[in-house]
Structure 1
Amino acid sequence: MSQVTTTDLYEVTMALSYLRENMRAPATFSLFVRGLPSGRGFLVAAGLEPALDYLARFQVGRTDAQEFAEVLGRPVKDLEPLRGLTFDGQVRAVPEGRLVFAGEPLLEVTAPLPQAQLVETYLISLLCHQTTVAAKAARCVIAADGRPLVDFSLRRSHGPDAGMQAARLCALVGFAGTSNVAAASRYGIPASGTMAHSYIETFPSEEDAFRAFARAHPGPVTFLVDTYDTDHGVDTAARVLADLRRGPGCAIRLDSGDLGTLAHRARTALDTAGLRDVRIIASGGLDEYAVTTLVRDGAPIDVFAVGTKVGVAADAPYLDAAYKLVEYDGTPVMKLSSGKATAPAPKQVFRRPGLRDLIGMANEQPPEGTEPLLRTVMLGGLRTEPPDTLDAARARFEADLAQLPETARRIENPVAPVPAVSTRLSVLTTVVRHKIEARMRAGRQSPGDRP
């Protein structure tokens, strides 16, 4: 199925109407998050790279037009105006890895109106899912306080594609590896994995299972020790590891029970056996809240494997995001709906030290000492620079995280910074609002809330 048809029906009907009305002037749409989810002090911009890939290859083909016609119950000839439509517009966006806050545009699209409209749904889907998962993973990095994390989310993600995205996003914010073989291969992420309880259960004893696994894998091995009795499993693993003498890199994995208490007992058993270099890996329903507790309580866990709750961003699985028209044919526009009003005109985010952001107009001069966040990443439907790398995105994330206020870093009850609004943007918003309200009072309806 073409990605072009992965859209909401009203995008198709609006784009078709624009074309028939010859409304092809440039339109700017701004994609932003209205408010941060409860329990979030920041978001991590993510999803831009696949979004640019999508826009670069966007083209309505013959089969797309046929599919549109079929779902609309209309003759194919009625959909012919859409056929051959490509994206040849401009994209300005916040690079992946930057920390962002409510009201700040993640991305702005400027293109002929039918094009800018038709790509809305796919862009929202890409950026919202990936931004919320990246923020969840980033909070785990904060909670782990320097200990390595591994992504185990694939089997519980909302489909294989979401699992691939989660593995990439976890790597973007600093995870050390992933269990996802395809993601490890595609993105150059270290692969990490052990064994399942079913593997242990197929052998006469845990010791038989551990020795068989070691025979198949000559390097460092990790043994899952909680299939039956955890303390017994640790003792058995210690005996086998002492016999193997595989050296640094070997580990045991705890996957259930009171992980903190079990980790303390396991560490004592391993140290007593002379295996101080054998690491303890913990998994089983972990997220930033559980990891924070384990770290705070001094659990001797060396690596945290997090999966389900991060891959689906369990406590905040969606963003209240919008893709709103802010300018058409050179005229600023805005929405006045209660609770959903928008600011007009293309925008820029000016970042000051300490992530004290200022949302202004795109054509404003950057205030002294600020850094504009949105960059032009596509012109004429083509990328302006080579594809970004995970290493570059991770470096941006780490630099922003180092400046994030402690109140926003908190795992419990964080307080998100609130961006300021420039004087020019505030004045324009007031002017456009007053013009719209004046027309409404005069009883003159103006399509699109255009001043």
Structure 2
Amino acid sequence: MRYSPLLTDLYQLTMLAGYLDEGMAETPAVFDLFFRHNPFQGGYAVFAGLDTALDFLEHLEFSEDEIEYLQGLGLFRPAFIDFLRSFRFRGRVTAPPEGTVVFANEPLVTVDAPLAQAQLVETALLNIINFQTLVATKAARIVHAAADGTVLEFGLRRAQGPDGGLSEARAAYVGGVRSTSNVLAGKTFGIPVRGTHAHSWIMAFSDELTAFRKYAEVFPDSCILLVDTYDTLRSGLPNAITVARELRAKGHELVGVRIDSGDLAYLSRQARRLFDEAGFPNVRIVASNELDEFVIESIRAEGGCVDIYGVGTRLATCAGEGGGALGGVYKLVRIGDRPRLKVTSDLAKATLPDRKRLLRAVAADGTFIQDVICLDGEEVLPGHTVFDPANPLQHVTIPMKARLEDVRSVAMENGRRTASRSVSLDRMADRSRNQLALLPQGCLRFINPHRYKVSISQGLNDLRLRLMEEVRHGYHDIANP
């Protein structure tokens, strides 16, 4: 799918025009994309959207139709319009692999390119990475709540438009939801598609049993019946058992039933009991209706017997406290040969300057200990002291037996991917699942999770404090000439 370069905010283009006028368009620049708070008030995020972002960057080019539109705005000089005709992205992108577990204030995507190129892509990169990372994180939380149960994504009808529905299905897969009702997502991304039928199917026939029988005739080997149209216990489940017997007599088996309303914990227990007593222990019970990680957790806590959770609205819209939007930002950290930082009265919101590496300290058993952000080229070793970025007076020592690993690598060089596109969504989802299992105890809690430590190195801490002091002196000189 081609994303137009007009998928941007107008001020990106006006800044580009200004850079060109000032002779700054080709000045080397470095930007970091990161978020300041873990989503859903949780203990982590799952990085997603990189492949989509790299697609955008590789194919970034203004068509004549897009050029004509910009000319028609009457804002831009002919020299800038000519500049856009040959505009391409030729920068470097450093990022983690999709499915990597990441945390607030860590540099996720770093763009190293001429200023005009790095500036223009800000809006699109934030749009892509913010949404897909948020969805992947929500999906991982839901999968964790479901434990041994299977989760099916069917949020298309509540998603933020057609493209949002596609991106959501893809990102949910990265987070561990490995099937979808979205047929176009199935074709586009190779995601297995699943589905049953709606209440309208039942209501279209003279009675529920007839509707069940007709559906079973059409799909005898993949039949899942929706049992709550009229009365789940007195009508839906008895009729489903009748059809299960009729299918078995013909050499087929009923796959499952879906409950879409009512007390899902209680109704699923009753459904399990009735099917077991009738000799159908393998019939699977599907639950749906405004499910999220908290509802699923409560169903399981109350002894629910759900095998498959159909999750739609609250996954597609990333609903929940601390959800809705990831809040990722894109900040300039170096221009030319000068490191830059955004200064604020709140040290926690001051950016981290210059090119950086993101390291993960890993214990001998593979579990994650903490992350360390350091300057590019700085040596960081076990035993070194590292600092809390919000309060440099708080510091810890990297354990001596820890192994330090780079979380990120160069994903694009000179505007072209550094690796083939052979990485499957399955590998991304496996990475997410495996890394979540390696987090310290408590990080996966939904309420008051353990705070995973992200520190900055001695060199980065010193640079930031020095730059902040220089800025303060500059303000003082201006105020007191």
**TM-score normalised to structure 2 length:** 0.89
Which residue of structure 2 lines up, in the alignment, with residue 331 of structure 1?
338
Match of 1:241 in 2: 244
- Of 381, 396, 407 in structure 2, the residue corresponding to residue 373 of structure 1 is 407
Residues 72, 433 of structure 1: alpha-carbon distance in 2 compared, 3 angstrom cutoff: farther
- How much has 1:72 moved relative to structure 2? 4.9
CA 1:51–1:262: 2 relative to 1, 3 Å: same
Alignment of 1:167-178 (within 5 A): 167-178=169-180
SS where residue 236 of structure 1 aligns? helix
**Corresponding position of 1:396:** 431
Q: Which amino acid aligns with 1:412?
A: I
- Deviation string, structure 1 residues 210-232 (Cα, Å, up to 9, x no partner): 11111111313100000001111
Worse-superposed segment, 196-205 or 240-249: 240-249
Which has the higher mean CA deviation after the structures are superposed, 57-66 or 133-142? 57-66
Determine the structure 1 residue equivalent to 2:297.
292
The number of equivalent residue pairs is 445
The CA deviation at 1:38 is: 4.6
Matching residue of 2:148: 146
* 1:449 aligned partner: none
The DSSP-based 3-state class of the residue aligned with 1:129 is: helix
Secondary structure in 2 aligned to 1:310?
helix
**1 CA distance for matches of 2:240 and 2:94?**
54
Q: Distance in 2 between matches of 1:96 and 1:112?
A: 26
Once the 2 structures are TM-superposed, how far is the Cα of residue 278 of structure 1 from its aligned partner? 0.6
Partner SS, residue 132 of structure 1: helix
Listed as ranges, the matches of 1:254-403 within 5 Å are 254-315=259-320, 316-339=323-346, 340-353=349-362, 354-365=368-379, 367-368=381-382, 369-387=403-421, 388-403=423-438
| Residue 77 of structure 1: how far off its partner (Å) | 5.6
- The 8 Å contact of residues 90 and 379 in structure 1, kept in 2 or not, is answered as yes
Moved more, 26-35 or 337-346: 337-346
Secondary structure of 2:420's aligned partner: coil
Query: Is the deviation greater in 78-87 or in 222-231?
Result: 78-87
2:85 is aligned to: 83
Give the match for residue 27 of structure 1. Answer: 29
Q: Is the 8 A contact 1:55 1:381 kept in 2?
A: yes
Q: Please point out which of 433, 437, 440 is paired with 2:468.
A: 433
Alignment match, 1:7: 8
Moved more, 210-219 or 436-445: 436-445
Residue 187 of structure 2: SS of its match in structure 1?
helix
Post-superposition Cα deviations, 1:279-338, rounded to whole Å, max 9, x if no partner, equal 100001000000001112221111111010011101101122210000011210111133
8 Å contact 2:244–2:254 — kept in the other structure? no
Gaps of 5+ in 1: 446-451
How far has the Cα of 1:199 moved from its partner?
0.5
Cα distance change on mapping 1:281 and 1:213 into 2, 3 Å: same
* Secondary structure of 2:5 counterpart: helix
Partners of 1:143 and 1:411 within 8 A in 2: no
Question: Which shifted more, 19-28 or 60-69?
Answer: 60-69
What residue in structure 2 maps to residue 417 of structure 1? Answer: 452
User: Is 2:53–2:129's contact at 8 Å kept on the other side of the alignment?
Assistant: yes
Residue pair 1:280, 1:300 contacting (<8 A) in 2 also: yes
